[in-house]
Structure 1
Amino acid sequence: MSKSDQSLFSLHEHALQQANETCPICNASLQIKHSKAGSFWGCSQYPTCDYTRPVKEVTKFEEQILPGSECPKCGGSLAVKQGRYGLFIGCSNFPACDHIEHEPEETLDVQCPSCKKGHLREKSSRYGKTFYACDTYPKCKYAINHPPVAQDCKECGFPLLLKRNMAAGEKLQCANKKCGKFQ
């Protein structure tokens, strides 16, 4: 048997060993079950036995204190923590202090064409997509998906153009939905 065949056999054997695992509480077989939160191993004797464990073992993230940092609310030190949406920087005195550091948002030198009071700001959605929205939100809910340019449209006079990457190169498009002409 070749070395690759042996490694394949050991992987297959490991998979069979996991599939034939027994419940540590009642010695019944474990099954992969599914829920809206994801897959997990569960006892086949459910509801008599309610043993469960995750399919993928998760390693616990240790909180790391940032040396020389100070919480502006309570004076405690700041730490790198892991939450349900990933890593973030927060106060080490949680739950007594709930301070969280946010990334500074860039304010562009482009006035909001909707309310004419705020400026457009680069933001990031929870899925990581970049968009541009008015900084007076929630009073003004104006938002666009492409980088803004403070120029008037030659066709309709709308005070905002969008920078679009097209197959032929970078072009400017009117941000007015009724116009939408390329410059």
Structure 2
Amino acid sequence: MTADSNLFNLPLQQQLCPLCQQPLAMKSGKNGPFLGCSAYPACNYIKALHQHETSIVKVLESEPCPQCGNALAVKNGRYGMFIGCTDYPHCNFVVHEHSEQPDIERLACPKCNNGQLTERVNKFGKQFWGCDKYPKCKFLLNDKPVAGVCLSCGFGVLIEKKSGLYCADKGCAEKQPAA
């Protein structure tokens, strides 16, 4: 058991900062309450009050983990649903979404020119398209990308909206004439 994990077992008045030995105080931030050093800004130690738990929704008994042979499970984690090994943390196998998209036409990322745009789903279930070289390249689109070149600025990807095709460059966003 580490010194950080002992923090959760002590009453708030007895908890000391592991960096400077000052008392910890309950604070509030955009992601909810947390423990922070009372000597802030001289010491910027923080500790989350709630560990981000991953819960198993359903064990897939018929699907063995390709790394260790244990069963896979549908899990609900910090960023939504995923499939992972039941022997975590000894086995870190996770099924990645982009490996299930072999039939979809892949477009080259216009920002880094190394990656490809892949369809993804955020934790709220909304689709978006982003570079598969993330976090090195943070290019993303909320609308479906289409192969083509903008006639106004020459940007290498267009986006498809209900009213037609538009340039994917946020600085241009010109509607493209119908072909």
Does residue 71 (structure 1) correspond to residue 65 (structure 2)? The answer is yes
Amino acid at match of 1:178: G
Q: CA deviation at 1:142?
A: 0.8
Partner of 2:135: 138
Partner of 1:110: 107
| Cα 1:79/1:137, change in 2 over 3 Å | closer
CA distance in 1, matches of 2:57, 2:173: 51
Matches for 1:26-105 after TM superposition, within 5 Å: 63-67=58-62, 69-81=63-75, 83=77, 88-105=82-99
CA distance in 2, matches of 1:85, 1:113: 27
8 Å contact kept, 1:118–1:135: yes
Partner of 1:148: 145
8 Å contact kept, 1:108–1:122: no
8 Å contact kept, 2:98–2:119: no
| Structure 1: runs of 5 or more not aligned | 1-35, 38-59
Q: CA deviation at 1:113?
A: 1.0
Q: CA deviation at 1:78?
A: 2.1
> How many corresponding residue pairs?
121
Partner of 1:160: 157
Amino acid at match of 1:92: T
Q: CA deviation at 1:177?
A: 2.1
Q: CA deviation at 1:121?
A: 0.8
- What's the secondary structure of 1:113's corresponding residue? coil
CA RMSD of aligned residues (A): 2.7
Matches for 1:11-22 after TM superposition, within 5 Å: none
Q: CA deviation at 1:129?
A: 1.1
Partner of 2:169: 176
8 Å contact kept, 2:56–2:73: no
State the TM-score, normalizing by the size of structure 2. 0.56
CA distance in 2, matches of 1:148, 1:62: 33
Larger Rg: 1
Q: CA deviation at 1:84?
A: 6.0
State the TM-score, normalizing by the size of structure 1. 0.55
CA distance in 2, matches of 1:149, 1:85: 27
8 Å contact kept, 1:108–1:121: no
Which structure 1 residue ranges, 4+ long, deviate > 6 Å from structure 2?
none
